[in-house]
Amino acid sequence: MKQFSLPKPLLLTKTWEYDRVYRQGKRLRGPNFGLVLAANTLGGNRLGISVHGMKKAVQRNRIKRIVREFYRLHRGLLPQAYDIVFTVRPGFLPATPDAVQEAVVKLLAKAGLVSA
């Protein structure tokens, strides 16, 4: 069961960590969401989630849960040794982690970071 957990060190938690990713990172834009990737020296990925323009906390929190679940289950799909901020804009309403996976893999393949 430990292999499927999502420990706190795999998440971006501090404002300065987000700021560094936004300043130094490469931006990939998809439909109603984007990824900002910045290399790190930790040897593994860390995830940050930023949700904008959604008035209802229920919707914001649901999207965050789904994105965290996607990351927890599919960490191997993402390029290694990066801090990744998942930015969500209004209109992004995935139903399952698999829907997020499909959208993210398309975006990363388009950028040449993974094979489709």
Residue in this structure with the two tokens 């987000």, named with its chain if needed: 18
Per-residue pLDDT of 36-48, as tens digits, reads: 999 999 888 999 9
Which residues pair with residue 84 across a beta bridge?
Answer: 37, 47
**For the chain, what's the residue count?**
116
Stretch 46-72: mean pLDDT: 90
3-state secondary structure of 86: strand
Is the Cβ–Cβ distance between 96 and 65 less than 8 Å? no
Looking at the whole model, is its pTM more than 0.95? no
- Among the listed ranges 1-10, 13-22, 58-67, which one has the minimum average pLDDT value? 1-10
CA atoms within 13 A on the CB side of 65: 8
The model's confidence at residue 2, banded by pLDDT at 50, 70 and 90, is low
Q: Does residue 106 contact residue 116 with C-beta atoms inside 8 Å?
A: yes
| Predicted local distance difference test score (pLDDT) of residue 115 | 63
> What percentage of the chain exceeds 90 in pLDDT?
37
What residue type is assigned to position 90 of the chain? P
Tokens of 98: 């698999």
The CATH number of 14-108 is which of 3.40.50.300, 3.20.20.100, 3.40.1170.10, 3.30.230.10? 3.30.230.10
Would you state the pLDDT for residue 34?
92
Task: State which amino acid sits at residue 75.
Answer: R
Helix (H/G/I), strand (E/B), else coil: 74: coil
Q: State the pairing for strand pair 82-88/26-30.
A: unpaired
Q: What is the mean pLDDT of residues 20-45?
A: 92
To the nearest whole number, what is the mean pLDDT of the chain? 87
